[in-house]
């Protein structure tokens, strides 16, 4: 915008200057020409009364600042030597003063009729005399025009900066809000319209902050609603006669309580820096948990995990929730006896280079988690948030999508469903 305003002002200023300077330049040239001709005319009028006095005529002619030639009736010439020109002969024949343009300049001839014949006084105003001072005047006008254009550009730049700076601030504030920096506020400045926009943006940011705070508190209220059924579940687990069964149900209740607590903490501290964990350990633990249910339902489980630790920039609870959601889908949407596999591997160089530009991460390493089953599969349209053909909430895949750098759903070589996640490795968060 600044460049466009500068070009607009420069173009307008140049048009105005051309409208004034071109006629002024022509006027300056005409004035210089009239001045030179007037001076030459004064010289001639000074010599004309002395035509009858030859001695005085000689003295006067030699004292003039311009070349003057006096053609006497006998053919002799006093002053600057020159041959009679057509203008001289015509003036002598007609007895009238003439002004003629020649290749050398402007020729002025004045005839003086006497008793002895006609004497002609001639002077030549050269081109340099006609344009004396014109070039300097034109350069002065050009310099003045250039100075006015530069002054206009300076004023236009200051005006454009006064307009664009608030717009730039508004854009920066909107980007900060988009990066979840909800405390960002715009400084109302500039024209009235921009101040109104800044006020509206600040009001919107405040309203978003209020709505998110209310949403977080609503999620936190879940703790009070879930404590009673969790307590009842724990009491039921303790009342079981089988110690192993009691311990298993109590452990599941504790896991549920921890998941609820983690959900509340995540809702209340959503702006905190994401944690990290050893993906190998988390996946091994959750697969061991689901392996018991797989054995009970007659499912073959294949797992392939790295031999050593595989650090990722995802909290252990979040990665565990991803495993539980995806493996829960396998058990919920495939018949008993359906085989499935869990594969965890380090991300190759190509996966790492892609990165997640939206998150502003610079990844070092990463992991690839693939969960495949031999069930009926599902269309990719059901991979959207809130969509489910099995009567569930449809949020299981979305839980996995939020922690993954890349999330794809497809079919395996033998049919069934395959979910592939690229999990970011240890990262350096770019400043928001």
pLDDT of 361 above 60: no
Alpha carbon of residue 405 to chain centroid: 27
Higher confidence at residue 147 or residue 248? 147
Q: What are the two backbone dihedrals, phi and then psi, of residue 147, each rounded to the nearest 5 degrees?
A: -65, -40
Residues in a beta bridge with 301 = 340
Q: Is the dihedral of CA 127, 130, 133, 138 positive or negative?
A: negative
pLDDT of 373 above 50: yes
Nearest to 304 by CA among 249, 341, 264, 331: 341
pLDDT band at 358 (very low <50, low <70, confident <90, very high): very low
Show Cβ contacts of residue 67 under 8 Å, excluding neighbours closer than 6 positions: 79, 80, 123, 124
Distance CA 423, CA 432 (A): 21
Q: Is the dihedral of CA 174, 175, 178, 183 positive or negative?
A: negative
pLDDT confidence of residue 263: 67
Helix residue ranges per DSSP H, 63-133: 86-94, 127-130
Mean pLDDT of the 5-17 span: 82
Show Cβ contacts of residue 334 under 8 Å, excluding neighbours closer than 6 positions: 340, 373, 374, 375, 376, 416
H helix or E strand, kind and range, residue 304 = strand 301-304
Q: Is 379 helix (H, G, I), strand (E, B) or coil?
A: coil
pLDDT confidence of residue 280: 92
What pLDDT, in 10s, does the model give residues 256-284? 777 777 666 666 555 555 578 899 999 99
79-93, 310-324, 371-385, 416-430: least confident range? 371-385
Q: What is the DSSP string of 327-362?
A: HHHHHHHS-TT--EEEEEEE--HHHHHH--TTTTEE
Q: Is 74 helix (H, G, I), strand (E, B) or coil?
A: coil
DSSP category for residue 375: S
Distance CA 365, CA 351 (A): 9
Token pair listed for 121:
């006084």
H helix or E strand, kind and range, residue 48 = none
pLDDT confidence of residue 4: 77
Q: Is 307 helix (H, G, I), strand (E, B) or coil?
A: coil
pLDDT confidence of residue 414: 67
Whole-prediction pTM: 0.43
What pLDDT, in 10s, does the model give residues 164-210? 888 888 889 888 888 878 888 888 887 788 889 889 989 998 898 88
Token pair listed for 309:
């630790």
Number of H helices, E strands in the chain: 12, 12
Contact 391, 352 (CB under 8 A): no
15-24, 226-235, 380-389: least confident range? 380-389
Contact 237, 249 (CB under 8 A): yes
Mean pLDDT of the 135-163 span: 86
Most confident of 102-116, 257-271, 348-362, 387-401: 102-116
Higher confidence at residue 215 or residue 109? 109
pLDDT confidence of residue 170: 87
Residues in a beta bridge with 105 = 126
What pLDDT, in 10s, does the model give residues 322-342? 888 888 888 888 888 889 999
In 10 A of CB 162, how many CB atoms?
Answer: 13
Q: What is the DSSP string of 160-210?
A: HHHHHHHHHHHHHHHHHHHTT-TT------SSHHHHHHHHHHHHHHHHHHH
Higher confidence at residue 355 or residue 129? 129
Q: For residue 53, what are the CA distances in angstroms to 57, 59, 114, 243, 319?
A: 6, 10, 12, 153, 124
Q: What are the two backbone dihedrals, phi and then psi, of residue 205, each rounded to the nearest 5 degrees?
A: -60, -45
**pLDDT above 90 coverage of the chain, percent:** 9
What pLDDT, in 10s, does the model give residues 385-432? 444 444 444 455 666 777 777 888 888 766 788 899 998 886 544 333
340-346 and 301-304 strand pairing: parallel
Q: For residue 283, what are the CA distances in angstroms to 16, 133, 417?
A: 76, 93, 19
pLDDT confidence of residue 344: 92
Distance CA 423, CA 402 (A): 10
**pLDDT above 70 coverage of the chain, percent:** 83
pLDDT confidence of residue 379: 57
pLDDT confidence of residue 396: 58
Distance CA 418, CA 374 (A): 9
Higher confidence at residue 356 or residue 17? 17
């Amino acid at each position: 915008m600044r460049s466009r305003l500068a070009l607009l002002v420069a173009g307008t200023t140049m048009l105005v200057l051309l409208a004034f300077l071109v006629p002024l330049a022509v006027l300056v040239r005409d004035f210089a020409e009239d001045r030179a001709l007037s001076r030459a005319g004064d010289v001639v009028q000074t010599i004309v009364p002395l035509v009858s006095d030859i001695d005085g005529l000689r003295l006067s002619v030699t004292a003039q600042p311009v070349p003057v030639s006096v053609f006497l009736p006998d053919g002799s010439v006093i002053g600057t030597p020159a041959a009679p020109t057509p203008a001289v002969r015509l003036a002598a024949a007609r007895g009238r003063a003439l002004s003629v343009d020649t290749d050398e300049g402007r020729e002025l001839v004045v005839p003086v009729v006497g008793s002895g014949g006609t004497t002609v006084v001639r002077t030549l105003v050269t081109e340099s005399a006609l344009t004396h001072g014109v070039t300097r005047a034109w350069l002065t006008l050009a310099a003045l025009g250039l100075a006015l254009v530069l002054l206009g550009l300076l004023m236009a730049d200051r005006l454009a900066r006064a307009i664009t700076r608030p717009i730039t601030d508004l854009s920066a504030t909107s980007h900060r809000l988009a990066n979840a920096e909800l405390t960002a506020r715009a400084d109302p400045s500039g024209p009235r319209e921009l101040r109104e926009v800044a006020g509206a943006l600040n009001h919107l940011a405040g309203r978003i902050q209020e709505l998110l705070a209310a949403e977080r508190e609503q999620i936190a209220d879940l703790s009070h609603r879930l404590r009673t059924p969790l307590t009842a579940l724990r009491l039921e687990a303790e009342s079981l006669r089988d110690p192993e069964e009691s311990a298993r149900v109590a452990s599941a209740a504790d896991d549920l309580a921890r998941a609820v607590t983690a959900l509340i903490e995540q809702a209340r501290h959503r702006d905190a820096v994401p944690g990290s964990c050893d993906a190998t350990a988390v996946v091994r633990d959750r697969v061991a948990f689901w392996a018991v249910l797989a054995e009970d339902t007659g499912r073959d489980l294949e797992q392939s995990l790295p031999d050593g630790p595989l650090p990722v920039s995802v909290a252990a609870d979040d990665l565990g929730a991803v495993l539980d959601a995806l493996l829960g889908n396998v058990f919920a949407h495939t018949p008993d006896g359906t085989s499935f596999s869990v594969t965890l591997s380090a991300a190759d160089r190509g996966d790492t280079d892609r990165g997640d530009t939206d998150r502003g991460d610079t990844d070092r390493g990463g992991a690839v988690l693939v969960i495949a089953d031999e069930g009926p599969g599902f269309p990719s349209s059901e991979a959207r948030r809130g969509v489910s053909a099995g009567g569930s909430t449809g949020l299981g895949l979305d839980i996995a999508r939020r922690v993954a750098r890349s999330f794809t759903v497809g079919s395996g070589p033998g049919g069934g469903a395959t979910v592939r996640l690229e999990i970011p490795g240890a990262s350096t968060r770019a400043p928001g």
